[in-house]
Structure 1
Amino acid sequence: MHPNDVTKSYELTEAGDRYFDGLVDKFSRSLYQAPRGELRLAMLDYLLPQMLQLKEQPVLDIGGGLGQQAAWFAKRGHAVTMTEPSDDMLNHAKQWHQDDSALPHELITYLQAPLQQLDQQAPGAWPLITCHAVLEWLGDPQAALTTLSHLLAPGGQLSLMVFNRDALRFSNVVKGNLEKALRDRLAGKGKRQRLTPISPVSHAEIEQWSAANGLQIASVAGIRVFQDYLRKPPVTPEENETLIALEKQYCRQDPHWRLGRYLLYTLIKPEAGK
């Protein structure tokens, strides 16, 4: 851990959201240069082609972070508009994309804007939207899902990934944080460099909010169903391959998907008259 990870303080926006300016290195170290980040990307690579109908349609990638998801879609022929409120994160993504010679750079457009402004800055309507690991960093995730429904075209698909509140509770119990779990004090404060989300979301909430906005849950999967609960993490490539095989085998099976650290949904906006 870097010394500044604990001591430096950050503030939420006026809307109560958490941005990641000044946290690119921490974000990259904690989420993508670690086994949990590698597994998350591997599972998305495995699940997205199963859970989405991909026809090289335009994609609105909301809260695109370091740019991995935008690159994934661009390499598959999609024109991607990547939005990100953090200037630091967006610049990092642009540079990383430029350094990738295999990436069709002309297919990616960048927009620095928060989700709440996309009704005006990227109104669509969009046939495919990705919003991965964004809602849990917002002060009002329910209102955000309403905005997403407005941006989505009739018949369109929303790939939504959220940090699972139920998994966070279970993980705290496994770690011995019994009082914290009992009192349901699970959310992070968003004040320092710790990456515990400020608004972890439950599956029940996604069901309620989706129905309220006329969105249908077409499919759901858990990401990191087992990894976060291991007493001994894999130490050899063979053990890691076995873990990935387990994750792939059970990520869409009940009850296992319900304890994924992240929940991945495909939400559909029905066409008129259907």
Structure 2
Amino acid sequence: MSDPGQLGQRILARQLDEQISAGFEVGRRLRVLDVGLGRGVQALRLARAGHRVTGLQSDPDLRELFEKDLAEEPEGIRERVRLVAGGSEDTGAHFLPGTFDVVLCHDGLIQARDPGITLAGLARVLDAGGLLSLLIRNDAALAMHPGRSGDWDAALAALDFPERTGSALRLETLTRGLAGIGTPLRQWYGVGIFGSDDCPAEEEKADRMLAAEERAGRSDPYRSVAAMLHVCGARGGAG
């Protein structure tokens, strides 16, 4: 999956904070696992907010980049972050069941050899009442971007993609999967609806763009045609 970009990360942060506020008491310091954390935008943001964060990353180059970014943070933030070498399918090898309050998988599920097994592994390390936050490519709307840009061959190929591949990560399939592992869907959002990855330099224009993306990301039919879907499940049981 491609990085959601500056605007996408800001939208993702707002959606994630909304789900954390809905699921946990104010001021609680959470145990967070970020699986396939990439550059760790959300991991660092949550660590700055006082949460204890573990990052799981298989790519040594990305681990090195994250470590460089982490080294620039104050000591108190660095102490709240741990980096572990491993991929999205390795959670069971590294962590005991119920270890985390929040599990993020914003770049790992689509790369997994077996998304169903990987999803079950993510839920396994989530404590009762915990939040599972997934970011997936929206296979049902792959034709939107090439269609808007006039690339009709790519648009036609994208229209055939879900039927040709039987994507396991369509929203309907993922919703059934979440229910089956005891982490039923709580909310889903669209990310990247209007096709821009970067915020404008002008603060007022950036705020209006952010407001439009955020409103559309929680509204039908707009969220259904987003480039990515942010899917949030809640682990059964009291937190």
2:91 counterpart residue number: 118
Task: Encode CA deviations 1:27-48: one digit per residue, 9 max, x unaligned.
Answer: xxx84xxxx6110121122221
2:122 counterpart residue number: 148
Aligned to 2:143, what secondary structure does the other structure show? helix
**1:173 deviation in Å?**
2.9
The answer on 1:71 being equivalent to 2:37 is: no
Q: Is the 8 A contact 1:132 1:160 kept in 2?
A: yes
Change (3 A) 1:38 1:238: same
Q: Is the 8 A contact 1:97 1:103 kept in 2?
A: no
What are structure 1's unaligned runs of at least 5 residues? 1-17, 19-29, 188-198
RMSD: 2.7
1:59 counterpart residue number: 32
Q: Is the 8 A contact 2:193 2:226 kept in 1?
A: yes
**1:261 deviation in Å?**
1.4
1:135 counterpart residue number: 109
Aligned to 2:144, what secondary structure does the other structure show? helix
The answer on 1:170 being equivalent to 2:170 is: no
The answer on 1:251 being equivalent to 2:225 is: no
Query: CA–CA distance in 2 between the matches of 1:120 and 1:146?
Result: 13
Change (3 A) 1:40 1:127: same
Identity score, percent: 23
1:23 counterpart residue number: none
2:68 counterpart residue number: 95
Query: CA–CA distance in 2 between the matches of 1:144 and 1:56?
Result: 26
Query: CA–CA distance in 1 between the matches of 2:16 and 2:63?
Result: 23
TM (norm. structure 1) is 0.73
Give the counterpart letter for 2:57 in structure 1: E
**1:183 deviation in Å?**
4.7
2:78 to 88, 105, 127: 105
Aligned residues: 226
What are structure 2's unaligned runs of at least 5 residues? none
Give the counterpart letter for 1:97 in structure 2: L
Give the counterpart letter for 1:170 in structure 2: M
Query: CA–CA distance in 1 between the matches of 2:176 and 2:152?
Result: 28
**1:144 deviation in Å?**
1.5
Q: Is the 8 A contact 1:75 1:104 kept in 2?
A: yes
Q: Is the 8 A contact 2:190 2:229 kept in 1?
A: yes
1:161 counterpart residue number: 135
Q: Is the 8 A contact 1:171 1:228 kept in 2?
A: no
1:261 counterpart residue number: 227
The answer on 1:242 being equivalent to 2:208 is: yes
Query: CA–CA distance in 2 between the matches of 1:138 and 1:171?
Result: 24
Aligned to 1:116, what secondary structure does the other structure show? coil
Q: Is the 8 A contact 2:7 2:196 kept in 1?
A: no
TM (norm. structure 2) is 0.83
2:190 counterpart residue number: 222
